A and B are shown apart, each in its own frame.
Chain A
Amino acid sequence: MHLVKFLPKNLAKLLLVIVVVCWCFLGCRGIKWLALAKMSSISAKQLPEMCQELIGLAKRQQKICRRNVEVMDSVRFGAHMAIDECQHQFRNRRWNCSTVDPVKVFGNFLKLGTREVAFVHAISSAGVAHAVTRACSKGDLQHCGCDRTVNGRSAEGFEWSGCSDNIAFGIAFSQKFVDARERLRKSKNIKRVLMNLHNNEAGRKAVEDSMQVVCKCHGVSGSCELKTCWRSMATFRQIGAILKESFDGATEVKLEHKKKRPALVPVNNQFKPPTRSDIVYLVASPDFCEPDPKTGSLGTSGRVCNKTSKAIDGCDLLCCGRGYETRTMTIVERCQCKFYWCCYVSCEKCTRTVDEHVCK
C-alpha cells in the first residue's frame, strides 16, 4: 500500500529534480520570485521564518529576505506591478505577457534569451526598485537608508545634512535582491547571466532616468536666492512605457571575451555596444502564433483582435493569417458616469451591441 503510494510521488520528485537540473543547465534562470506577485499579501507578522515559505526564492534571496523581512511585501507589490504593467504594455501583441500558473508564472517561456524575456527582467527589477522606493517614502519601512554618502559625511547624519532621497535605497535593494539569483553560482551559461544582469540594470536605470528634478524657490520673500531641488519618481505606467520603447529598440548581442573578460557585444558590429539603459537579447523571438510548450508560447487563438487596425493588434497580424470569427454581443455598460473623488462613480446603464473578433 505504502510502496504503491510512495513510489509515484518520489518518482515525480526525482523527475522534477532532473528536469530542474537540466533546465538550469540549459540556462533557464527564470525569475521565479515573480511568483510572489501571485500571493495575496505577505503575512502581517513579518517574521524571518516566513522566508522559507515564500515561493520561488533562491537561496541567496531567502537570505536577503530573512535580513529584510519588512521589505518583502514591497517586493511582492513590485512583482505584481511589473506583471500588470507588462500585460498592459503588451496587450495588443501576439505575446501578451500572460502568466501560465501561479508558481511558474511565465513557465518555459523564460528558457530562451528572447527580447520578451529581456523585457520581463527589466520591468521586474524596475518594479522592485519602484515599490521599495515608494514604501520608503511612505514611511512603511523602518530600515531604509539615510545614505549620507550623497549629502554629507558627518556622523550626526540627519541633523547635520538630512537624508538622501529614497531612490538610492530602492535601487540598491532591487540590485541586491533581483540580481542575487543571477549571481547565485558560477554558471556555465555565462551569457544568459550577463544578459539578465544587463536587463535588470536597464530596468533600474529606467526608474532612475524617469525621475524628474523639481525645484522650489524659497529665499527672502520667496525669491530664488535659495532654491531646493529634489527628484520625484514617475508613475510606473511611464516607466513601463520607457521600457517598452527600449524593448522596441533592443539590441541582439552575443558573447565575446574581451581581455579575457566575458562581455556582450552586438551581433551586428555596425552597432555601438549597448549602454546601461539598453535592453539586450540573445536569440530572436519565436512568432508566438501557435502554442508551443518548448518556447512557452501560448499561441494567439482565442485572442480578441481589431478588425480595422493594420498594426500588430489587427486581426491579420494577430491571428497569424488563420482568420477570425466574429461574434455579435450585447453588452451592458456604464455610461454617462459622474466621478466623485475618491471612490464613487454614479453611472447609468446603457446596452450596446458590439462585434467582437476572435482569432481562430
Chain B
Amino acid sequence: MGGVVLETLSWKKLIILGLFLLFLLITFFLIGGLIAPRPTNVVHVIGTKCVNKGGVGNKEWFIPRGGSEKCIQYSSLDDPGIEDDRISANQIVFSFWLPHPREGIQLDFSRWQQTMISVLDLTILYDDENQVEDDAIIQLDARISYRDKEDDVNDWKELASSLEERQLRCEMEGKKENGYAYNCDLLSFFELGSLHYDYYLINIKVPVEPYKGINAGIGNLRDITLVGIHQNGGFTKVWLSIKTVMFPVVLAVLIWFWRRIGQLSRPPNLLERTLFALGIAMSILNCPLEWFTLAIDMPFMLLITDIRQGGFYAMLLCFWIIFTGEHIMDQCERNRLVLYWKHLLAVVIGCFCLLLFELSERGVQLANPFFSIWVTGVGAKLALSFIIVAAIAASCYFFFLCYMIFLVFRNISAKKVALPSMSKSRRSFYMGLIYRFKFLMLATLVCSALTVVFFIISQLSEGQWKWGDEDPSLEYTSAFFTGVYGMWNIYVIGLLSMYAPSHKQFVQGSNAGGDSQEEEVQLTYLPSSSETSAIQSFAAKVAAD
C-alpha cells in the first residue's frame, strides 16, 4: 500500500521545495506591492444643480457640461436667481457626469476598471429653524444612463431608474451654529457590476411633497457629492495576469494528481477525493473569466466572483474538517462523507446563508443597481439574520474543528507513548500519519497567520494616509490581495503534490494487512521520514487488533 509523496521526500528536497514556495509567495506579494496600483480609487463629483423647465414628466437628461446640451444651472442653491425665477424643489436636478475632464481631456472609463460602486455624501448645513429631523428619510428619484465616446452628445441611454428611500443619519458635532455642516453618514447609492461604457450620467431629483411629508425633514441640503469607487485598471491587469498564469498551473497539477490516483489499484479514498474537489474549487476561482468583460457587458461578474470565492473557502473549510477527521486515529472507520454530516452541515448552512445574502444584495442589484438590502427595515433585519446564522454556523464549525484537532493531538500523544512497543510496520504507519498531520497543521497555520498579518498591515496602511508622498513605496492593499491569493494557490498546489500517492510504492499490491517492508528498503536513508501509511491498512489493523 502506498504512502504519499510527502513521506518519500528527503529533508533536503523538502526544504528546497519550501524555500521555493516561499520565494513564490514573496514574488506574489511584490507583484502586488510594486507593480499594481491600489485596488480601487475614487471619482469625487459634486452635483451640478440643473433646472428642469419641462414639468414633472420630463424624461430628458440633464447634462452638467458641454456645449448647447448643457443644462440650465445654478452655481449654488443660495443663488438669488432661484428665488427670483420661482424655481421649486421638484425642478432641481442634481446632475453628475462621471468621470471628470482632466488636463484638458474628457476622461472615459475603461473596461479594465471593471466595477463601480457609489455612495452619496450630503452636505446639509445647520439651520436653527430648519433642522434635520430624527429618523428623517430622504427620497431620491435617481436615474443613471450611459454613453460611449463616439455617440452623439445627447445620446444618453437609460441604464436604470428608481425611486429610492434612504435613512438620514446626521449629527452635529461641536458648535451648533448656522452655516456649519452636519456630519452625515454616507448613503449607499448604486453598484454597477460592469463598467462597460465610457461615460455615466446620473440625475437625482429630491422631490418634495409637503402634504405627504416626503422629504420634509431633510434640513438645509445644499450639495450632493457622489463618490464613485471604481477598480483600478492597473490592478485588474496585474490580477488577471496572475489568474491567467495560475489557472493552467493548478489545472496541470490537478490532472497529474488525478492520474496518480487513477494508477492506484484501489478506488480513491475520501481524503483524495476531497483534495481533488479542493483543486477543482481553486481552478474555478482561478479561471480568468474576466477576460470576457473586456468584450461583453457582464454585470453579473461581481456576483460570480463572490460566489466563486465563497465556493473556494467553503471547500477549504470542508477539507480541513475531513483531513483532521481522517487523522484522528481512533477505533472507528471513517472514509465516508456521511460521517462528517454535522461538521459539513455547519459549513453548508453558513455558506448558504452568505449566498442568500449575496443574492439578495448583489443579485437584486442586477435588476436595480440602486437596491441595497440594508436600507429597508425588513431587509436589514433579514440581512442581519443571514449574517448571524452564518456566524453561528462558523462558530459551530470552529468548535468542531478545534475539538477534532484536540482529539488528534490527544491520540498522537497516546500513540507516541505506545510507539516503541509497536511492531515496526505499525510504528511506521502511525509515525507517517502523525507526520502528515503535523505538516498540514504547520502549513495551514502559517498560511492563516500570513493572511491575518497581511490583512492587518493592509488595514493599517489604509488608515494612515501619506498624501502627496511621491516616493514609490509598497502598495500594501494590493500586496495583500495578490499575496493572499497567491498564497492559497501555493497552498493548494503544495497539498496536491505533497499528498498525492507516491509512485515509489506502486510495486506493492493493495494488500492492506501485509507488512510494508518495501518502504524500509527504499527509505532507509531517511530515518525521520521513512514511514508510510494508508488509511485502509490502518483500518484493517485496527480491526485485526
**Which positions in A face B, CB cutoff 8 Å?**
77, 88, 134, 136-146, 149-154, 156, 158-163, 165-166, 168, 213-216, 218, 220-222, 224-232, 234-235, 237-238, 241, 337, 339-344
Are A342's CB and B127's CB within 8 A?
A: no
Cα distance, A339 to B83, chains bound together (Å): 14
Cα distance, A146 to B175, chains bound together (Å): 36
Given A146-B103, A221-B357, A235-B179, A343-B117 contact (CB < 8 Å): no
Are A160's CB and B309's CB within 8 A?
A: no
Residues of A within 8 A of B225 (CB): 137, 232
In the complex, the chain A residue whose C-beta lies closest to that of B79 is A343
Within 8 A of A (CB), among B112-142: 112-113, 117, 119, 121, 123, 125, 127, 129-130
Are B229's CB and A161's CB within 8 A?
A: no
B44 interface residue (CB < 8 Å to A): yes
Which segment, of B214-222, B264-272, B402-410, faces chain A? B214-222
Cα distance, A156 to B208, chains bound together (Å): 44
Given A152-B37, A159-B113, A230-B227, A139-B119 contact (CB < 8 Å): no
Cα distance, A132 to B490, chains bound together (Å): 49
Are A340's CB and B89's CB within 8 A?
A: yes
Write the B217-260 contact mask toward A (1 if CB under 8 angstroms, else 0).
01111000101011011110100000000000000000000000
Are A144's CB and B121's CB within 8 A?
A: no
Kindly name the residue among B45, B103, B130, B462 whose own CB sees the greatest number of chain A CB atoms within 10 A: B103
Smallest beta-carbon distance A73→chain B, Å: 9
With beta carbons under 8 angstroms apart, the residue of A145, A150, A152, A215 that contacts B462 is A215
Smallest beta-carbon distance A131→chain B, Å: 11
B40 interface residue (CB < 8 Å to A): yes
B379 interface residue (CB < 8 Å to A): no
In the complex, the chain A residue whose C-beta lies closest to that of B179 is A237
Kindly name the residue among B42, B64, B175, B219 whose own CB sees the greatest number of chain A CB atoms within 10 A: B42
Residues of A within 8 A of B215 (CB): 341
Write the B439-468 contact mask toward A (1 if CB under 8 angstroms, else 0).
000000000000000010001001101011
Residues of A within 8 A of B113 (CB): 159
With beta carbons under 8 angstroms apart, the residue of A144, A152, A162, A214 that contacts B103 is A144
In the complex, the chain A residue whose C-beta lies closest to that of B307 is A220
Cα distance, A216 to B121, chains bound together (Å): 12
Residues of B within 8 A of A138 (CB): 45-48, 64
Are B129's CB and A339's CB within 8 A?
A: yes
Are A341's CB and B465's CB within 8 A?
A: no
B376 interface residue (CB < 8 Å to A): no
In the complex, the chain B residue whose C-beta lies closest to that of A215 is B462
Cα distance, A213 to B219, chains bound together (Å): 24
Are B125's CB and A235's CB within 8 A?
A: yes
Residues of A within 8 A of B477 (CB): 226
Residues of B within 8 A of A343 (CB): 77, 82-83, 87-89, 92
Are B233's CB and A160's CB within 8 A?
A: yes
Smallest beta-carbon distance A132→chain B, Å: 13
Within 8 A of A (CB), among B168-219: 175, 179-181, 186, 206, 208, 210, 215-216, 218-219
Q: Which 8 A-B pairs have the closest CB atoms?
A: A162-B41, A161-B37, A160-B234, A339-B130, A159-B233, A237-B179, A159-B110, A152-B37
Residues of B within 8 A of A149 (CB): 468, 470
Smallest beta-carbon distance B48→chain A, Å: 6
Are A216's CB and B180's CB within 8 A?
A: no
Instruction: Pick 15 A–B contacts, CB within 8 A, sort by A.
Output: A136-B100, A138-B48, A142-B104, A144-B100, A146-B102, A162-B232, A166-B44, A215-B462, A229-B463, A231-B467, A237-B125, A238-B181, A341-B219, A343-B89, A344-B89
Given A150-B470, A221-B306, A144-B465 contact (CB < 8 Å): no
Are A341's CB and B309's CB within 8 A?
A: no
A-B contact count (CB 8 A): 184
Smallest beta-carbon distance A333→chain B, Å: 12
Residues of A within 8 A of B470 (CB): 149-150
Are A214's CB and B64's CB within 8 A?
A: no
Are A339's CB and B46's CB within 8 A?
A: no
Known: A144-B101, A150-B470, A163-B100. 19 other contacts (CB 8 A): A140-B65, A145-B102, A149-B470, A152-B234, A156-B233, A159-B113, A159-B233, A161-B232, A162-B43, A162-B230, A214-B227, A220-B310, A221-B358, A221-B361, A230-B42, A234-B181, A235-B181, A237-B181, A340-B216
Cα distance, A234 to B174, chains bound together (Å): 14
Are A143's CB and B229's CB within 8 A?
A: no
Residues of A within 8 A of B468 (CB): 149-150, 168
Cα distance, A161 to B45, chains bound together (Å): 17
**Which positions in B face A, CB cutoff 8 Å?**
37-48, 64-65, 75, 77, 82-83, 87-89, 92, 97, 99-104, 107, 110, 112-113, 117, 119, 121, 123, 125, 127, 129-130, 175, 179-181, 186, 206, 208, 210, 215-216, 218-221, 225, 227, 229-230, 232-235, 237, 306, 309-310, 354, 357-358, 361, 455, 459, 462-463, 465, 467-470, 472, 477
In the complex, the chain A residue whose C-beta lies closest to that of B101 is A142
Cα distance, A234 to B100, chains bound together (Å): 21
In the complex, the chain B residue whose C-beta lies closest to that of A232 is B121
With beta carbons under 8 angstroms apart, the residue of A142, A163, A241 that contacts B43 is A163
Are A150's CB and B467's CB within 8 A?
A: yes
Are B357's CB and A226's CB within 8 A?
A: no
Cα distance, A153 to B472, chains bound together (Å): 8
Are B37's CB and A218's CB within 8 A?
A: no
Kindly name the residue among A142, A153, A159 whose own CB sees the greatest number of chain B CB atoms within 10 A: A159
With beta carbons under 8 angstroms apart, the residue of A88, A160, A342 that contacts B179 is A88
Given A137-B45, A144-B103, A221-B306, A341-B221 contact (CB < 8 Å): yes
Cα distance, A237 to B180, chains bound together (Å): 6
Cα distance, A136 to B465, chains bound together (Å): 22
Smallest beta-carbon distance A198→chain B, Å: 19
In the complex, the chain B residue whose C-beta lies closest to that of A336 is B129
In the complex, the chain B residue whose C-beta lies closest to that of A347 is B129
Are A161's CB and B467's CB within 8 A?
A: no
Given A216-B186, A342-B92, A161-B38 contact (CB < 8 Å): yes
Are B101's CB and A154's CB within 8 A?
A: no
Smallest beta-carbon distance A70→chain B, Å: 10
Cα distance, A166 to B43, chains bound together (Å): 10
Residues of A within 8 A of B82 (CB): 342-343
In the complex, the chain A residue whose C-beta lies closest to that of B37 is A161
Are A342's CB and B221's CB within 8 A?
A: yes
Cα distance, A232 to B46, chains bound together (Å): 11
Residues of B within 8 A of A222 (CB): 361
Residues of B within 8 A of A137 (CB): 44-46, 100, 225
Are A213's CB and B465's CB within 8 A?
A: yes
Residues of B within 8 A of A221 (CB): 306, 354, 357-358, 361
With beta carbons under 8 angstroms apart, the residue of B83, B89, B181, B354 that contacts A341 is B89
Are A342's CB and B38's CB within 8 A?
A: no
Residues of B within 8 A of A225 (CB): 455
With beta carbons under 8 angstroms apart, the residue of B87, B104, B107, B121 that contacts A158 is B107
In the complex, the chain A residue whose C-beta lies closest to that of B113 is A159
Residues of A within 8 A of B234 (CB): 152, 154, 156, 159-161
Smallest beta-carbon distance B203→chain A, Å: 14
Are A216's CB and B179's CB within 8 A?
A: no
Cα distance, A166 to B227, chains bound together (Å): 13
Smallest beta-carbon distance A356→chain B, Å: 21
Are A226's CB and B40's CB within 8 A?
A: yes
